[in-house]
Structure 1
Amino acid sequence: MIVIVFGLPGSGKSYFASRLADRIHAGYVNSDRVRKELFEKSDYSKEEKKAVYEKMLKVMKGAMEQNNDLVLDATFHEKETRDLFINEAKGTATVFFIEVKADEEIIKERLKKERPYSEADYEVYRMISQKNEPLSEPHLILQSTNDNIDEMLEKAVTTLNLKNDTSGDQ
């Protein structure tokens, strides 16, 4: 099972995704960590994004070969990028999308704080939100606040279990 947790910078997706991976005993790949490994200073250019997603795709392929569950954490704001991961997993693993959203005021506050791996600030948020291509297929959408992580995790785990239980029937 591949779980793609996506959303805009500051939405709380990484905070959620890392805890979800622990909860479901899955591997975890964070795009900000990958970016830090690949680049000393981030510029969020098209080339940089391509390199980050290529590395994440490589890790996903390895997880699928080992039949391991994996949580991928990135903005995934472009349809073309999401399609690349979906097509790679076809016939090998089930892909679930979970979108994490937050009110803009919460995002502004979160982006003012230093985070260990992300250099995204409010300008990066605005740039990505302007280029965001919403996912049109049905998927789980979670609204992040500053005190609802347990509720978000419970909803996600329940949804993933329900989808996995019925996947053979579809």
Structure 2
Amino acid sequence: MSKIILLRGKAGVGKTFISNELAKRVNVPIIRKDDIFDTVFNYISDNVLRNKFCYEMLLKIIQTNMECNTDIIIDCPFHFNNQLLDLKKHIENNKGIFKPILCICSNEVLWAERFNQRKANPNPNNIITEFEEMKQHYFNRGIESTPLDGELVIDSIKNIDELIKQTITYIENL
């Protein structure tokens, strides 16, 4: 059975850094929504369509990996629980193992510092580069980071070795 390891959370909390470290230690490839977004940025002008395309592409990649019985790490915000629950159902209906991980940063000063680093060299997916604007955007869209039942929550202010050890234990626990 394929393990689909999802690292999700708000922008700038540390998903990419943690997924990089995890992938190196467990030798599992990563697919990032932002990589897909950045690639299609110049081809699809509407942001809603870009995001829709990215999520559909992620689902196709997940499906292919489940058919090949391979594990994969997905780095994607999945802010809305209805999307997340649909993904969970899809994976479980296809005999996959869903391992969602919610990344948070409980230190708002550190989170803002990390987020605001994007201003120096933003990628196309970095549409918002100001921390307060990003927080307002999440508030306006009703986005909260509510963990699913059984979802691992990791706080990126902790030591990376500790986080990876905790994550690997969670992933290996069936």
Question: What interval of TM-score do these two structures reach, taking the shorter chain for normalisation?
Answer: 0.7 to 0.9
* 8 Å contact kept, 1:10–1:125: no
Structure 2 residue identity aligned to 1:143: D
Pair 1:100–1:54, CA change in 2 (3 A): same
Counterparts in 2 of 1:102-121, with a 5 A limit? 102=105, 103-114=107-118, 117=123, 118-119=125-126, 120-121=128-129
TM-score of the two chains, using structure 1 as the length reference: 0.84
Runs of 5+ unmatched residues, structure 1: 165-170
1:128 lines up with 2:131 in the alignment: no
Aligned to 1:36: 38
Alignment: residue pair count: 162
Q: Separation in 2 of the partners of 1:65 and 1:80?
A: 24
**8 Å contact 2:32–2:75 — kept in the other structure?**
yes
Taking every aligned residue pair, what percent have the same amino acid on both sides? Answer: 22
What residue is the counterpart of 1:139 in the other structure?
Answer: 151
- TM-score normalised by length of structure 2: 0.82
Provide the secondary structure at the position in 1 that maps to 2:36: helix
Structure 2: give runs of 5+ residues left out of the alignment.
none
Cα drift, residue 42 of structure 1:
9.2
Q: 1:37 to 1:19 in 2, by over 3 A?
A: same
Structure 1 stretches of 4+ moved >6 Å: 41-44
What CA deviation, in whole Å up to 9, does each residue of 1:19-50 have, x standing for no partner? 21222221211111110111139989433222
Which of 55, 58, 61 does residue 60 from structure 2 map onto?
58
Offset at 1:148? 1.4
Root-mean-square deviation (CA), in Å?
Answer: 2.4
Q: Measure how far apart 1:93 and its partner are.
A: 0.7
Q: What amino acid is the match of 1:64?
A: M
Letter in 1 for 2:149: E
